[in-house]
Each structure stands twice: as structure tokens, then as C-alpha cells.
Structure 1
Amino acid sequence: MAGAAASGAGRGAHSVTTKQRGDDAEAAAFEYLCAAGLTPVARNYRTPGRGGGEIDLIMRERDGTLVFVEVRQRSTGSHGGAGASITGLKQRRIVFAARHFIARLRVAPPCRFDVVLVHERIEWLRAAFDAPS
């Protein structure tokens, strides 16, 4: 029965969904950032309504900087890999959600937009993009 446990405990080796792979990548990124000294603030923050945005992880640096993190996982490097999948539209949605989150705070802290790419290894891109003025 060791083989069944290794393949996903009852799930066939090929039945892992894209969502499960994404959830696993997000969990790996979360653990990586926590080990690097960041403190968790929120996970999967979504703005209300349709057409809004979602932020995978919101973390805080030791200096108080609020870090909005997009986690990307791709099984292959085709089409530019995980990093190339963060389009201008995706960035705008992340920024929209970040502004919505910050509006709830009394004082807006310094902020940054990071990307964590999960493939064979974890790659943390600090200040991967900026919020337009």
C-alpha cells in the first residue's frame, strides 16, 4: 500500500487538479516566506463583487512593509514559464485588491508587490512590479 500513499492516498497519480497544484505551490511559498522572516497577514484576500482582484498572500516584513504576494506555479517552462503568466491585467487586479485592503487600515504602511515562482525550486522576486499612480 506504500505506492497508494505516495500517489496521493486514493487519488490516482494523474488526478491531481490544477487547483490542488496551485494550493500546494501557495503552501510552499507561504512556508518559504515565513522561514525568511515574513509574518502572515492574510491568505487569498478577495475584493467583493465581480471583476475585482485576489491576492494569494499578504505578508509583513520585519520593517513593517506590507508585501502583496502573487504565487505562480507552472509545470513547464513553455509560454515563458510561471513569471510570464503575470500579465498587465493580472497586475492591475492585484493592485486593485491591494488598494482595497489598504483602505481598511488606519495608516497605509510602505507596500511592495512580490512574486513567488514555484517550479523545480522556489524563486522569490521582490518588488516584481509597481502600482501605477
Structure 2
Amino acid sequence: MQFLEKKRPPPASTERGRQAEDHAWAYLQAQGLRLLQRNYRTPGRGGGEIDLICQTPDGTVVFVEVRSRTSSAFGGAAASISATKRRRIVFAARHWWRLHGGNRPSRFDVVTVQGPQVQWLPAAFDADA
């Protein structure tokens, strides 16, 4: 039954998200950041996920949330990061630090991709958000 072996293509939104992450990473790399990990997920349900974990030339670890929108309606990409989403990102960052030794400075950045435009928001929120 060959028809059962065919894989379904990923949803369009998943592909757009991956492309936005690729675009954001290319931008951050051009700014001198080094990629440590991509799409880090905590184990189990209800955990968090971090799109990109990078390091600046001075050693700061940067946890990056990438948001993409096709228009600026409803506040655009940056406005779509809810308090719940920020808590999940912070939860995932704390989990990552437990695995990798958390004694370096860190921050939470947001990169928005809206069409061809990329906007980098360093220190967009903090762990207390």
C-alpha cells in the first residue's frame, strides 16, 4: 500500500515559521551572533520552546523569540507575544540553563519578520515578565 507511505507536506504556517526563523537567524548572524541551538523544547506537555539560542561576541546568551506576520493589523508581530508565551520562554530558558550551566549573562530578545522587513528588539522582556 504505497499510498500509506507518502508523507503529508507540512502546514503552510509551519513552513512560514521556519522561513521566518531562517531569515531572523541570517540577520542575527550578520550582527555577529553565534548560534548555540535552534528550536529548543522542554520535555513534556505545557513546557516552553525557544526559537533560537545565540551568543553575542561578549559571551551573553540570547534567547530569541521569532515572530512573523503578514501585516501590522492587530498590533503586528511583536504585539502577539502574550504574557503566557513570555512565561513559557522563560521556563524553557531556565530549563536550558540547568542543562548547560547558567553562569553567563543572558537576555530575551525578539526578532519580528514582516514581509522582507526584520526588526531586532534586544532585551525585549525580562525573566520577571
Q: Normalising by structure 2, report the TM-score.
A: 0.88
State the alpha-carbon separation in 2 of the partners of residues 105 and 76 from structure 1. Answer: 37
Matched, 1:119 2:114: yes
Counting matched residue pairs gives 119
Measured after TM superposition, the shift of residue 132 of structure 1 is: 1.2
The Cα offsets for residues 6-39 of structure 1, whole Å up to 9 and x where unpaired, read as xxxxx9xxxx711111110000001110111000
Task: Please say which of residues 75-84 and 99-108 is displaced more in the overlay.
Answer: 99-108
2:75 to 77, 80, 89: 80
Verify: 1:55 aligned to 2:29, yes or no: no
Shift of 1:105: 2.2
CA distance in 2, matches of 1:85, 1:77: 11
The offset of 1:56, in angstroms, is 0.1
In the aligned structure 1, how far is the partner of 2:77 from the partner of 2:102?
A: 33
**Percent identity among equivalent residues?**
55
SS at match of 1:62: coil
1:70 counterpart residue number: 65
For residues 107 and 72 of structure 1, what CA distance do their matches in structure 2 show?
Answer: 26
Which residue in the other structure is 2:25 paired with?
30
TM-score normalized with structure 1 length: 0.85
For 1:126, the aligned partner's letter is P
Structure 2 unaligned spans of 5+: 1-8
Unpaired runs of at least 5, structure 1? 1-10
Q: Please, what is the CA RMSD of the aligned residues?
A: 1.5
Shift in CA distance, 107/17, structure 1 to aligned 2, threshold 3 Å: closer
For 1:20 and 1:88, the matched residues in 2 are separated by 25
- Shift, 1:77, TM fit: 1.0
Q: Distance in 1 between matches of 2:100 and 2:12?
A: 36
2:119 matches 1:129: no
**After TM superposition, where is structure 1 displaced by more than 3 Å over at least 4 residues in a row?**
none
Q: CA deviation at 1:107?
A: 4.3
